[in-house]
Homo-oligomer: A and B are copies of this chain.
Protein backbone atom coordinates (compact mmCIF):
# COMPACT_ATOMS: atom_id res chain seq x y z
CA UNK A 1 0.00 0.00 0.00
CA UNK A 2 1.06 3.55 -0.52
CA UNK A 3 2.87 4.68 2.57
CA UNK A 4 0.95 7.93 2.63
CA UNK A 5 -2.28 6.00 3.19
CA UNK A 6 -1.21 4.21 6.35
CA UNK A 7 -3.92 4.71 8.96
CA UNK A 8 -2.49 4.60 12.42
CA UNK A 9 -4.71 2.79 14.89
CA UNK A 10 -5.06 5.95 16.92
CA UNK A 11 -6.50 7.66 13.87
CA UNK A 12 -9.34 5.18 13.35
CA UNK A 13 -12.62 7.05 13.90
CA UNK A 14 -14.02 5.03 16.79
CA UNK A 15 -17.60 6.01 17.59
CA UNK A 16 -18.55 6.37 21.24
CA UNK A 17 -21.07 3.56 20.89
CA UNK A 18 -18.04 1.24 20.97
CA UNK A 19 -17.45 0.57 24.66
CA UNK A 20 -13.93 0.70 26.03
CA UNK A 21 -13.75 -3.08 26.31
CA UNK A 22 -14.45 -3.42 22.57
CA UNK A 23 -12.29 -0.56 21.36
CA UNK A 24 -9.33 -2.69 20.34
CA UNK A 25 -11.54 -5.24 18.60
CA UNK A 26 -13.26 -2.48 16.65
CA UNK A 27 -9.98 -0.89 15.60
CA UNK A 28 -8.66 -4.26 14.45
CA UNK A 29 -11.79 -4.90 12.40
CA UNK A 30 -11.63 -1.45 10.87
CA UNK A 31 -7.98 -1.75 9.97
CA UNK A 32 -8.36 -5.25 8.54
CA UNK A 33 -11.34 -4.26 6.43
CA UNK A 34 -9.49 -1.23 5.12
CA UNK A 35 -6.12 -2.94 4.77
CA UNK A 36 -4.69 -0.39 7.20
CA UNK A 37 -5.57 2.51 4.92
CA UNK A 38 -8.98 3.70 6.03
CA UNK A 39 -10.17 2.95 2.50
CA UNK A 40 -12.55 0.09 1.87
CA UNK A 41 -12.83 -2.24 -1.10
CA UNK A 42 -16.02 -4.11 -0.33
CA UNK A 43 -16.79 -7.06 -2.58
CA UNK A 44 -20.60 -7.07 -2.59
CA UNK A 45 -22.18 -10.52 -2.74
CA UNK A 46 -25.77 -9.96 -1.76
CA UNK A 47 -27.09 -9.72 -5.32
CA UNK A 48 -28.25 -13.33 -5.40
CA UNK A 49 -31.03 -12.05 -3.16
CA UNK A 50 -31.39 -8.52 -4.47
CA UNK A 51 -31.15 -9.25 -8.22
CA UNK A 52 -32.04 -12.95 -8.32
CA UNK A 53 -30.05 -14.96 -10.85
CA UNK A 54 -29.90 -12.42 -13.68
CA UNK A 55 -26.58 -11.08 -12.41
CA UNK A 56 -25.09 -14.56 -12.35
CA UNK A 57 -26.19 -16.30 -15.53
CA UNK A 58 -26.55 -15.07 -19.09
CA UNK A 59 -24.90 -14.43 -22.41
CA UNK A 60 -22.36 -11.86 -21.24
CA UNK A 61 -21.58 -13.51 -17.92
CA UNK A 62 -18.80 -15.98 -17.26
CA UNK A 63 -20.24 -19.49 -16.75
CA UNK A 64 -18.26 -19.68 -13.50
CA UNK A 65 -20.51 -16.98 -12.08
CA UNK A 66 -23.43 -19.40 -11.95
CA UNK A 67 -22.00 -21.24 -8.94
CA UNK A 68 -21.87 -19.61 -5.51
CA UNK A 69 -18.31 -20.86 -5.00
CA UNK A 70 -17.28 -18.31 -7.61
CA UNK A 71 -17.91 -15.50 -5.16
CA UNK A 72 -15.87 -17.18 -2.45
CA UNK A 73 -13.04 -18.10 -4.82
CA UNK A 74 -12.69 -14.47 -5.81
CA UNK A 75 -13.00 -13.23 -2.24
CA UNK A 76 -10.38 -15.70 -1.14
CA UNK A 77 -7.78 -14.93 -3.78
CA UNK A 78 -8.10 -11.17 -4.30
CA UNK A 79 -6.88 -8.13 -2.41
CA UNK A 80 -10.33 -7.09 -1.26
CA UNK A 81 -11.05 -5.50 2.09
CA UNK A 82 -14.05 -7.66 2.92
CA UNK A 83 -16.72 -9.77 1.28
CA UNK A 84 -20.30 -8.79 2.10
CA UNK A 85 -23.07 -11.34 1.93
CA UNK A 86 -25.83 -13.06 3.86
CA UNK A 87 -25.08 -15.12 6.95
CA UNK A 88 -26.75 -18.15 5.38
CA UNK A 89 -24.43 -18.17 2.40
CA UNK A 90 -21.41 -17.70 4.63
CA UNK A 91 -22.59 -20.62 6.75
CA UNK A 92 -22.73 -22.92 3.73
CA UNK A 93 -19.29 -22.13 2.25
CA UNK A 94 -16.96 -20.39 4.66
CA UNK A 95 -15.52 -23.57 6.12
CA UNK A 96 -13.56 -23.77 2.88
CA UNK A 97 -12.76 -20.05 2.82
CA UNK A 98 -11.51 -19.21 6.26
CA UNK A 99 -9.04 -16.59 5.06
CA UNK A 100 -11.79 -14.26 3.86
CA UNK A 101 -12.86 -11.24 5.89
CA UNK A 102 -16.66 -11.15 6.01
CA UNK A 103 -19.26 -8.44 6.38
CA UNK A 104 -22.67 -9.94 7.17
CA UNK A 105 -25.52 -8.32 5.25
CA UNK A 106 -28.40 -8.30 7.72
CA UNK A 107 -31.44 -7.59 5.58
CA UNK A 108 -32.65 -8.29 2.06
CA UNK A 109 -35.42 -8.42 -0.56
CA UNK A 110 -35.70 -9.22 -4.25
CA UNK A 111 -36.37 -6.85 -7.12
CA UNK A 112 -39.51 -8.68 -8.21
CA UNK A 113 -42.02 -6.16 -6.87
CA UNK A 114 -41.56 -2.91 -8.81
CA UNK A 115 -41.54 0.40 -6.96
CA UNK A 116 -44.63 1.52 -8.86
CA UNK A 117 -46.53 -1.37 -7.25
CA UNK A 118 -45.26 -1.00 -3.70
CA UNK A 119 -42.58 0.99 -1.95
CA UNK A 120 -39.56 -1.12 -1.02
CA UNK A 121 -39.15 -2.66 2.43
CA UNK A 122 -36.22 -4.74 3.54
CA UNK A 123 -36.59 -6.76 6.72
CA UNK A 124 -33.88 -7.93 9.07
CA UNK A 125 -32.98 -11.54 8.42
CA UNK A 126 -30.35 -11.68 11.13
CA UNK A 127 -30.08 -9.84 14.44
CA UNK A 128 -26.61 -8.55 15.33
CA UNK A 129 -26.48 -10.72 18.42
CA UNK A 130 -26.66 -13.75 16.13
CA UNK A 131 -23.73 -12.52 14.09
CA UNK A 132 -21.75 -12.20 17.31
CA UNK A 133 -22.73 -15.71 18.37
CA UNK A 134 -21.96 -17.11 14.92
CA UNK A 135 -18.55 -15.45 14.87
CA UNK A 136 -17.75 -16.92 18.25
CA UNK A 137 -18.95 -20.42 17.30
CA UNK A 138 -17.08 -20.51 14.00
CA UNK A 139 -14.00 -18.38 14.56
CA UNK A 140 -14.63 -16.76 11.16
CA UNK A 141 -13.06 -13.40 10.50
CA UNK A 142 -16.29 -11.40 10.54
CA UNK A 143 -15.28 -7.75 10.65
CA UNK A 144 -18.62 -6.04 10.35
CA UNK A 145 -22.26 -5.90 9.39
CA UNK A 146 -24.27 -4.08 6.75
CA UNK A 147 -27.83 -3.34 5.78
CA UNK A 148 -29.85 -1.48 3.15
CA UNK A 149 -32.13 1.47 3.86
CA UNK A 150 -34.53 2.78 1.21
CA UNK A 151 -35.07 6.49 1.81
CA UNK A 152 -38.21 7.91 0.31
CA UNK A 153 -40.04 4.62 0.77
CA UNK A 154 -43.19 4.71 2.86
CA UNK A 155 -41.41 2.21 5.08
CA UNK A 156 -38.25 4.31 5.49
CA UNK A 157 -38.73 5.20 9.13
CA UNK A 158 -39.05 1.57 10.20
CA UNK A 159 -35.91 0.69 8.23
CA UNK A 160 -34.06 3.66 9.72
CA UNK A 161 -35.01 2.52 13.21
CA UNK A 162 -33.79 -1.00 12.51
CA UNK A 163 -30.55 0.33 11.05
CA UNK A 164 -29.94 2.58 14.05
CA UNK A 165 -30.41 -0.39 16.34
CA UNK A 166 -28.19 -2.71 14.28
CA UNK A 167 -25.41 -0.13 14.20
CA UNK A 168 -25.63 0.46 17.93
CA UNK A 169 -25.54 -3.26 18.69
CA UNK A 170 -22.71 -3.87 16.24
CA UNK A 171 -20.62 -1.14 17.84
CA UNK A 172 -21.35 -2.51 21.28
CA UNK A 173 -19.75 -5.71 20.02
CA UNK A 174 -16.79 -4.13 18.25
CA UNK A 175 -18.06 -4.67 14.71
CA UNK A 176 -17.66 -2.18 11.87
CA UNK A 177 -20.84 -1.01 10.15
CA UNK A 178 -21.77 -0.15 6.58
CA UNK A 179 -25.15 1.10 5.37
CA UNK A 180 -26.39 0.86 1.81
CA UNK A 181 -28.38 4.12 1.47
CA UNK A 182 -30.65 4.13 -1.57
CA UNK A 183 -33.28 6.75 -2.36
CA UNK A 184 -36.16 4.67 -3.72
CA UNK A 185 -39.93 4.81 -3.68
CA UNK A 186 -42.83 6.36 -5.51
CA UNK A 187 -41.85 9.71 -4.02
CA UNK A 188 -38.33 9.65 -5.43
CA UNK A 189 -38.09 11.30 -8.83
CA UNK A 190 -34.38 10.84 -9.45
CA UNK A 191 -32.37 8.35 -7.44
CA UNK A 192 -29.11 9.75 -8.78
CA UNK A 193 -29.52 13.46 -8.11
CA UNK A 194 -26.55 14.87 -6.23
CA UNK A 195 -28.51 16.53 -3.45
CA UNK A 196 -30.57 13.44 -2.69
CA UNK A 197 -27.40 11.34 -2.56
CA UNK A 198 -25.79 13.86 -0.26
CA UNK A 199 -28.95 13.76 1.84
CA UNK A 200 -28.90 10.02 2.33
CA UNK A 201 -25.15 10.06 3.00
CA UNK A 202 -25.84 12.65 5.69
CA UNK A 203 -28.38 10.38 7.30
CA UNK A 204 -25.75 7.64 7.50
CA UNK A 205 -23.64 9.70 9.87
CA UNK A 206 -26.73 10.42 11.97
CA UNK A 207 -27.24 6.66 12.20
CA UNK A 208 -23.66 6.35 13.43
CA UNK A 209 -22.46 4.19 10.52
CA UNK A 210 -18.75 3.81 9.75
CA UNK A 211 -19.20 3.52 5.99
CA UNK A 212 -22.04 4.41 3.66
CA UNK A 213 -22.51 2.93 0.21
CA UNK A 214 -24.21 5.25 -2.28
CA UNK A 215 -24.58 5.44 -6.02
CA UNK A 216 -22.50 8.13 -7.65
CA UNK A 217 -24.56 11.13 -8.83
CA UNK A 218 -25.72 11.27 -12.41
CA UNK A 219 -23.60 13.53 -14.60
CA UNK A 220 -22.22 13.89 -18.10
CA UNK A 221 -19.14 11.86 -17.22
CA UNK A 222 -17.41 10.29 -14.26
CA UNK A 223 -15.28 13.37 -13.64
CA UNK A 224 -18.31 15.59 -13.21
CA UNK A 225 -20.08 12.91 -11.20
CA UNK A 226 -17.18 12.87 -8.78
CA UNK A 227 -17.37 16.65 -8.38
CA UNK A 228 -21.02 16.30 -7.46
CA UNK A 229 -20.21 13.45 -5.10
CA UNK A 230 -18.20 15.84 -2.97
CA UNK A 231 -21.44 17.21 -1.52
CA UNK A 232 -22.16 13.71 -0.22
CA UNK A 233 -18.73 13.06 1.22
CA UNK A 234 -18.94 16.36 3.07
CA UNK A 235 -22.43 15.60 4.35
CA UNK A 236 -21.31 12.19 5.58
CA UNK A 237 -18.54 13.71 7.70
CA UNK A 238 -16.46 11.03 9.37
CA UNK A 239 -18.72 8.35 7.98
CA UNK A 240 -16.75 7.26 4.93
CA UNK A 241 -18.47 7.17 1.55
CA UNK A 242 -17.96 4.26 -0.83
CA UNK A 243 -19.58 4.12 -4.24
CA UNK A 244 -21.57 1.27 -5.70
CA UNK A 245 -20.21 -0.23 -8.89
CA UNK A 246 -23.50 -0.05 -10.69
CA UNK A 247 -24.18 -1.60 -14.05
CA UNK A 248 -21.41 -3.28 -15.99
CA UNK A 249 -19.07 -1.04 -17.95
CA UNK A 250 -15.57 -1.38 -19.37
CA UNK A 251 -12.81 -2.01 -16.88
CA UNK A 252 -10.98 1.12 -17.87
CA UNK A 253 -14.08 3.28 -17.50
CA UNK A 254 -14.74 1.69 -14.15
CA UNK A 255 -11.24 2.31 -12.83
CA UNK A 256 -11.29 5.86 -14.15
CA UNK A 257 -14.60 6.55 -12.43
CA UNK A 258 -13.31 5.07 -9.20
CA UNK A 259 -10.18 7.20 -9.38
CA UNK A 260 -12.30 10.32 -9.83
CA UNK A 261 -14.63 9.33 -7.00
CA UNK A 262 -11.68 9.06 -4.64
CA UNK A 263 -9.54 11.93 -5.81
CA UNK A 264 -12.26 14.28 -7.03
CA UNK A 265 -15.19 13.25 -4.86
CA UNK A 266 -13.64 12.34 -1.56
CA UNK A 267 -14.80 8.72 -1.66
CA UNK A 268 -12.97 6.28 0.56
CA UNK A 269 -13.40 3.16 -1.52
CA UNK A 270 -15.97 1.19 -3.43
CA UNK A 271 -18.48 -1.60 -3.12
CA UNK A 272 -18.35 -3.68 -6.27
CA UNK A 273 -20.37 -6.75 -7.18
CA UNK A 274 -21.37 -7.74 -10.68
CA UNK A 275 -18.47 -5.85 -12.28
CA UNK A 276 -16.30 -8.38 -10.48
CA UNK A 277 -18.18 -11.65 -10.31
CA UNK A 278 -19.56 -11.68 -13.84
CA UNK A 279 -15.99 -12.25 -15.03
CA UNK A 280 -14.11 -15.55 -14.92
CA UNK A 281 -12.33 -16.19 -11.66
CA UNK A 282 -8.98 -15.25 -13.12
CA UNK A 283 -10.30 -12.05 -14.70
CA UNK A 284 -12.20 -11.18 -11.58
CA UNK A 285 -9.17 -11.55 -9.37
CA UNK A 286 -7.16 -9.43 -11.79
CA UNK A 287 -9.85 -6.76 -11.77
CA UNK A 288 -10.17 -6.84 -8.00
CA UNK A 289 -6.47 -6.30 -7.73
CA UNK A 290 -6.70 -3.34 -10.09
CA UNK A 291 -9.42 -1.87 -7.87
CA UNK A 292 -7.23 -2.54 -4.86
CA UNK A 293 -4.32 -0.76 -6.51
CA UNK A 294 -6.38 2.40 -6.81
CA UNK A 295 -8.10 2.13 -3.46
CA UNK A 296 -5.42 0.66 -1.24
CA UNK A 297 -2.18 1.51 -3.03
CA UNK A 298 -3.40 4.92 -4.15
CA UNK A 299 -2.24 4.08 -7.68
CA UNK A 300 -3.35 5.91 -10.81
CA UNK A 301 -5.43 4.19 -13.47
CA UNK A 302 -2.53 3.42 -15.79
CA UNK A 303 -0.61 1.72 -13.00
CA UNK A 304 -3.65 -0.13 -11.74
CA UNK A 305 -4.67 -1.64 -15.04
Contacts and interface: CB of A to CB of B under 8 A. Distances in A.
Interface of A: 13-17, 19-20, 46, 48-49, 52-54, 56-57, 66-69, 85-95, 107-110, 112-114, 117-118, 121-126, 130, 134, 137-138, 140, 151-154, 156-158, 160-161, 164-165, 167-168, 171, 183, 185-188, 195-196, 198-203, 205-209, 231-232, 234-235, 237-239
B152 A109 contact: no
A96 to B, nearest CB: 10
Contacts of A49: 160, 202-203, 206
Contacts of A46: 206
A208 B92 CA distance: 6
B203 A48 contact: yes
Given A17-B88, A68-B238, A88-B164, 8 more contacts: A53-B231, A53-B232, A57-B234, A86-B207, A92-B238, A110-B203, A112-B156, A114-B187
Given A125-B164, A152-B113, A154-B118, A53 B235 contact: yes
Contacts of A110: 151-152, 156, 199, 203
A188 B111 CA distance: 11
A208 B87 contact: yes
B157 A121 contact: yes
A134 B238 contact: no
A114 B185 CA distance: 12
A108 B57 CA distance: 32
A161 B89 contact: no
B157 A108 contact: yes
Contacts of A121: 157
Closest 10 CB pairs of A and B: A88-B208, A52-B199, A125-B164, A112-B152, A68-B237, A123-B161, A53-B198, A15-B91, A123-B157, A66-B234
